[in-house]
Each structure stands twice: as structure tokens, then as C-alpha cells.
Amino acid sequence: MQRIKAHAPNALLMASIIIVAGSFMGILSESGMLESIANDLVKVLPKQAVPNLHYIIAFLGVPIELLLSTDATYFALFPVIEQIVSEYGVDSSRAIQFMMVGNIVGTFICPFAPAVWLAVGLANVELGKYIKYAFFWVWAFGLVLLLIMYLWM
């Protein structure tokens, strides 16, 4: 019971996040909001960019990660972009895979990621200086991974 009590808060938090995310996605999908957001976004974007939007978001994944938390990206941005590009015949799994690469690499400089705070704390470095130093290295690494992925798929 002591072990369960010690670890229950973390397990319950993760379970809660998954339940809330599933509920959020269900509400967005079933209410028509996801489709409406996607349609409105398509109206304001340049016509040439829309079928390649997943590549654009993947390319900008690292800078986007500085603005949005990982949860916001996965549960709000990705479903909208996936909805948009799937209307143009892009395979949903391909679109999500490309966007995830930029996002995952960007997590290493995300000020919303607890692991980054832990790392800079252990290294005794200021977060701002770390991001300033690492930003272009991390972005370049992400772009190389995207290029490899594009050529591989």
C-alpha cells in the first residue's frame, strides 16, 4: 500500500490526461468543431500551401514548440492540420509522422517541458542561454531528420 500511495498521484495524473485528451478529441470531432476550424483555416491560407501544410508544420516544429506545449500541439494543432491535409488526399499517418518529428526534436528546447528544466538545473545553466545556444542546433538536427524521412518514405 505504501508503494501504491507513493506512485498513485503520477499514475492518476497520466490517466487523467489521457481521459481528458480523448474527451477533448471526441468533442472536437463529433461536434464538427474540428472540421469547422480546418475549413476556416483553409480559407485564410494560400492555396499552394494547404496540401503541403504538414510539411510546413514539420519544418516549423522546433519554433512552434517554443510557443506551444507538447499537449497543445498534439491535441489541438495536429488534428486540425491532419483534417486539412487529408481532404487533399494526404495519408493521415504520413502527415502525423512528419509533424511529430519536428515536435519531438523541439521538445529538447521547449520551456514547457519539465525535462528541459531538470536538465538546465542539473547543468547549472540559465534556460534562456540554453535555448539561445541550442535552438539552431536542435532545429538543424530536426531538419536533417525530416529530410532523411522524406527521402526514406
Stretch 104-132: mean pLDDT: 88
Residue bearing the bigger pLDDT, 81 or 69: 81
Res. 23: pLDDT tops 70? yes
Residue bearing the bigger pLDDT, 14 or 73: 73
Give pLDDT, residue 48: 86
Q: Is the dihedral of CA 61, 52, 152, 73 positive or negative?
A: positive
Rounded (5°) CA angle 48-44-110: 90
Find the range with the poorest average confidence among 52-66, 83-97, 106-120.
Answer: 106-120
Give pLDDT, residue 66: 86
Give pLDDT, residue 18: 73
Give pLDDT, residue 114: 81
Residue bearing the bigger pLDDT, 24 or 106: 106
Angstrom distances, CA of residue 139 to CA of 31, 42, 147: 36, 27, 12
Which pTM was predicted?
A: 0.74
Contact predicate 95/57, CB 8 Å:
no
Stretch 10-37: mean pLDDT: 74
Give pLDDT, residue 10: 67
